Amino acid sequence: MIMKKNKNKTRKMGGTRVSRGICKFLIFICIVFLFLSLPLLAREDNDKRNIIFQIDDPVGDDWGPGSYTYPRYKHFEPFKGLFDLTRFSIIDADPDYILEFAFTEIRDPWRSKYGFSHPLIQIYFDNQPGGSTELFRPGARVKLDSNAPWDVMLNITGWWVRLFRPTDRERVKSMKIPWNDTKNPFELSEAVVTLEENVIKVQLPKTIIGDLSKAKFFLLIGAFFPFGEDHYREVKKVSDDWAFGGSTNPELSPRVLDILVPDGMVQEEVLKLSQNARDFVTIPYIAISRGTESMIFNEKILIWVVTLIVIVLLALVIKIKSKKDPVRK
Ligand SMILES: [Ca+2]
Ligand SMILES: [Ca+2]
């Protein structure tokens, strides 16, 4: 009896030793995992901003269909990056939205109001039933995908933020207001524009722009020229001091230098005119809801998957331990 008791005790001690070893190993894994995931969690905690959409754009593609060259005047130095959008984000800062446009390079040779002389940003949102499938004004020389009829357009330069709706088209046509007149009726006085490093941030009330959580949009980056057609700088066959070069057909070539395209599409192909083109190229829309789903997907899923694995492993250890340890039965 004594021997049997000792044997049981030995088995119990052996099982306990093995289980303790595995438990220690799992605790170690948990600690390592927690250590690794803390920066991710902390980042979300510290960054209280609710980013509802974010999309990266390739660096160095402010060349439209791949062939455009910069104007030659010194104010366009360093002759690259000035129109190169690298990331676009929408932050829900209730009751406002903050739109963030990151560029490779921001310079201000003409000393603009907001500190950026070069980009002309036009963003068309489809966030209500109905709307228009035509550009507000034709200066960009592109067409918009008719599956996202827009309801509100923001026109952003270093001197202003203006908001237009399709119904404003006729009114704008008949208006003759100097380009930099702050009394322009479409000036969005509620918009707050800031520049941090190379990121242009535009904060504006949700009540004005409407809900963006399920919107579709088109984002066009051109070169701001106060006296150009709809403030777009010209694109010719060959660059001169003030115009871009690299167009195969200046009458039809897009005057946009950088755009966002959905996954699976290539900007250079979208903006390239076919040899026998008789019309402007069509720009695809981007859907915000899809971007929201992919947001921080990797980090959150990683945390949950590892936690689940640890729980399953712990459950298995307890089960094995209870099988190996007859005293527990
Ligand atoms: Ca880009
Ligand atoms: Ca692009």
CA 169 – ligand 1 centroid, Å: 29
CA 148 – ligand 1 centroid, Å: 22
Q: What is the pLDDT of residues 88-120, one digit of tens each?
A: 999 999 999 999 999 999 999 999 999 999 999
Taking ligand 1, which is a single-atom ion, which protein residues have CB atoms under 5 Å away? 57, 61, 84-85, 258
Give the ligand whose atoms come closest to the C-alpha of residue 220. Answer: 2
Q: Using the Cα atoms of residue 205, residue 163, residue 223 and residue 62 in order, give the sign of their dihedral.
A: positive
Q: How far is CA 232 from CA 138, 220, 254, in A?
A: 10, 11, 10
CA 137 – ligand 2 centroid, Å: 22
pLDDT of residue 316: 81
| DSSP category for residue 81 | S
Considering only CA atoms, which of 206, 120, 123 is closest in space to residue 157?
A: 120
CA 83 – ligand 2 centroid, Å: 10
CA 150 – ligand 1 centroid, Å: 23
CA 62 – ligand 1 centroid, Å: 6
Per-residue pLDDT of the chain (329 residues; tens, 9 = 90+): 444 545 555 455 555 565 667 667 766 766 766 666 665 555 554 456 899 999 999 999 999 999 999 999 999 999 999 999 999 999 999 999 999 999 999 999 999 999 999 999 999 999 999 999 999 999 999 999 999 999 999 999 999 999 999 999 988 888 887 888 878 899 999 999 999 999 999 999 999 999 999 999 999 999 999 999 999 999 999 999 999 999 999 999 999 999 999 999 999 999 999 989 999 999 999 999 854 444 445 556 666 777 788 788 878 877 777 776 655 54
CA 46 – ligand 1 centroid, Å: 28
Considering only CA atoms, which of 258, 257, 214 is closest in space to residue 235?
A: 257
pLDDT of residue 307: 76
pLDDT of residue 311: 80
Q: Are strands 142-144 and 281-283 parallel, antiparallel or unpaired?
A: parallel
CA 284 – ligand 2 centroid, Å: 12
CA 121 – ligand 2 centroid, Å: 13
CA 277 – ligand 1 centroid, Å: 25
User: DSSP string of 156-198?
Assistant: E-SS-EEEE-GGGHHHHHT----TT-TT-TTB-TT-EEEEETT
pLDDT of residue 72: 98
Q: What is the pLDDT of residues 296-314, one digit of tens each?
A: 455 566 667 777 887 888 7
pLDDT of residue 146: 98
Give the ligand whose atoms come closest to the C-alpha of residue 198. Answer: 1
Q: How far is CA 52 from CA 25, 44, 93, 116, in A?
A: 39, 13, 10, 26
